[in-house]
Amino acid sequence: MKLLVTGGAGFIGSAVVRLAVARGHEVINLDALTYAACLDNVADVAKEPGYRFVHADIRDPQALADVFATYTPDAVMHLAAESHVDRSIDGPGAFIDTNVTGTYHLLQAALVHWEAVGKPDTFRFHHISTDEVYGTLGAEGQFTEETPYAPNSPYSASKAASDHLVRAWGETYGLPYVITNCSNNYGPYHFPEKLIPVVILNALAGKPIPVYGAGENVRDWLYVEDHADALLTVLDQGTVGRSYNIGGENEARNIDLVHMICGILDQKRPGGALHADLITFVTDRPGHDLRYAIDPARIRTELGWRPSVTLEEGLERSVTWYLENDDLWRALQNRDGVGERLGTV
């Protein structure tokens, strides 16, 4: 297939690009190269004949029209977004612009293209979204695809809005779409402002490891390469007009996750004090959702997909990746706002 992947220089998008190219797909990677992007993430495939990079912004309708006309993709995998909750608290406007308005422009461009090529049933607009659209859970329960949307942060509200736009373009104009809502990803190339890289890199530097509130928040952790595999599975086998939740079947409280990472570092970088001694509790994020958990029944029973990486294995691989790729992440730490406490209102 010829895939137009938006946000392919970001964390998850680059994993999708690497896997799709490895599986023989042609890939057009469209990315605006914001602070969160890094073309080194796709360096392994950049010279492959089936790979193209287009520097463009999804808020630019003319650029999108040109890309569709030039490359005539068979499917769109839409990952481009502003993705950091803390930044959405400080500056929600960028999240509305890219995640809502940008998705609208991409839908319009995809629709014009789909109509121009004769409305093939095989075309897909695959929108990649988050479990955060469902809001928060208490100690019990899981999000299913029927859970009502109740987003609590500007980020999750903007993603919820984009999910609704995608659905509407399917219902109103017939654009063949699938939506996926996944849990928290982690793994190689994770941008150093997100929880797991912050823990690893602060621990390595001997700096305080910030844990929001009491560290009681629970997330379901999905290894990014498992996620990329799930996305290609849904693209290939998912039913048009349906959404699929994707989880890692790896629930953990933040404080337990941090202790697991510190334990791995104690083994790989022994000497001196225990890394867990660096844990420092800081003021909680406003509106911090307590717990997310995914009911994986639909993707498992309908598409036969399950995650393959346990949290222990995934964290081990992630820590190893950061230890071996100093040059890649160090440059990103100088980017705007990285390493600062954001989103405290």
Question: Which residues does the annotation mark as catalytic?
Answer: 131-132, 155
Contact characters 234-253, ligand NAD, x per CB under 6 A: --------------------
| Residue range at the interface with ligand NAD (CB under 6 A); choices 79-87, 259-267, 274-282, 288-296 | 79-87
Smallest Cα–Cα separation from 227: which of 197, 182, 189? 182
Among residues 42 and 264, whose Cβ is nearest to ligand NAD? 42
Task: Count Cβ neighbours within 10 Å for each residue of 125-162 and write b for 16 or more, e otherwise.
Answer: bbbbbbbbbbbbbeeeebbebebebebbbbbbbbbbbb
Return d(Cα 229, Cα 190) in angstroms, integer: 17
Q: Which of residues 29, 88, 130, 250 is near ligand NAD by CB under 6 A?
A: 130
Among residues 128 and 278, whose Cβ is nearest to ligand NAD? 128
- Is 228 a binder of ligand NAD (CB under 6 A)? no
State in angstroms the smallest separation of the CB of 58 from ligand NAD: 4
| Residue range at the interface with ligand NAD (CB under 6 A); choices 179-187, 205-213, 313-321, 328-336 | 179-187
- Is 159 a binder of ligand NAD (CB under 6 A)? yes
Q: Which of residues 182, 196, 218, 257 is near ligand NAD by CB under 6 A?
A: 182
| Residue range at the interface with ligand NAD (CB under 6 A); choices 29-37, 62-70, 113-121, 228-236 | 29-37
State in angstroms the smallest separation of the CB of 267 from ligand NAD: 26
Asked if 8 contacts 79 with a C-beta cutoff of 8 angstroms, the reply is: yes
Report in angstroms the alpha-carbon separations of 288 from 89, 96, 185, 214, 215.
11, 20, 18, 12, 11
What residues between 82 and 101 interact with ligand NAD by CB under 6 A?
Answer: 82-83, 98
Query: Which residues, in sequence order, are CB contacts of 58 under 8 Å at separation 6+?
Result: 6, 30, 32, 64, 80, 98, 102, 103, 105, 106
Transcribe 27-38 into DSSP letters: EEEEE---TT--
In sequence order, the β-bridge partners of residue 181 are: 129, 245
Return d(Cα 238, Cα 179) in angstroms, integer: 9
Q: Which of residues 29, 184, 243, 254 is near ligand NAD by CB under 6 A?
A: 184
Site of interaction with ligand NAD (CB under 6 A): 6-7, 9-13, 31-34, 36-37, 57-59, 79-83, 98, 102, 128, 130, 159, 182, 184-185, 191
